[in-house]
């Protein structure tokens, strides 16, 4: 858990409460080095009590607000299995 990312996430104001909740959970999973999160949408849904659809919409909102970046993860057969996320703390999209 990154305390820096958690503190930063709590100060974000121009997003919906659901997106902020997802951002705070991502901060819980983030490392302190580069704010990397390896968590699935299913884990986010289970952690927050939100539906998978709501989680997807929130992640899209966070990406659109330039608060997170995502990169697809693939298995050995080149089939996408999940995404990796980075919280963009030092980006202009969010304030520290």
Give the Cα separation of 11 and 13 in Å (integer).
6
Q: Give residue limits of the domains in the chain.
A: 3-87
| Residue segments in the chain with a per-residue pLDDT below the cut of 50 | 95-96
For the domain made up of 3-87, give the CATH fold: Arc Repressor Mutant, subunit A (1.10.10)
In contact, 29 and 65? CB cutoff 8 Å:
no
b/e map of 2-19 (b: 16 or more CB within 10 Å)?
beebbebbeebeebeeeb
């Amino acid at each position: 858990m990154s305390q820096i990312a958690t503190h930063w996430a709590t100060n974000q104001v121009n997003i919906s409460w659901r997106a902020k909740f997802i951002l705070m959970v991502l901060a819980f999973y983030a490392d302190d080095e580069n704010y990397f999160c390896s968590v699935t949408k299913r884990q986010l849904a289970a952690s927050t009590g939100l539906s998978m659809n709501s989680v997807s919409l929130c992640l899209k909102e966070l990406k659109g607000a330039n608060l997170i970046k995502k990169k697809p993860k693939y298995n050995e057969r080149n089939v996408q299995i999940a995404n990796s996320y980075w919280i963009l703390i030092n980006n202009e999209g969010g304030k520290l």
